[in-house]
Amino acid sequence: MSNIPKSCTLNVMDNQTQDREIQIGKYKIKVVRDLCIGAASCIAVSPDTFVLDEEKKAVIKENSQDVPENILMAAQSCPTAAIIITDTETGEQVWPS
């Protein structure tokens, strides 16, 4: 039994379980589902941006208003580097570097 509160999970439909890339501010954010182990460290850092789905994998909330610094720190907190951050202004991958 998981000790992650139900309020931290999100029901998603099968067609939404693919790796998705969403732009928030100056960053494009992508969670690589095959790498995600559901540690939820990203949620601890940026609960406005990330949530766990029914499979206990991190997904990105589409209406996040979090600041870029928090999103980057959330990605850096991931123990498997499953969150990829790209700077849309430069096209450079910011994390993992």
pLDDT tens, residue by residue, 17-40: 578 899 998 999 999 999 999 999
Most distant CA atoms of the chain, gap in Å: 43
Rounded to two decimals, the pTM is 0.81
How confident is the model at residue 19, as a pLDDT? 84
Contact 12, 53 (CB under 8 A): yes
Kindly report the CATH class assigned to 27-95: alpha beta
Domain locations in the chain as residue ranges: 27-95
SS3 34: coil
Number of C-alpha atoms within 13 angstroms, CB side, residue 48? 12
Average pLDDT of the residues in 47-57: 96
pLDDT value, residue 13: 41
What Rg do the C-alpha atoms of the chain give, in angstroms?
Answer: 12
Mean pLDDT of 58-63: 91
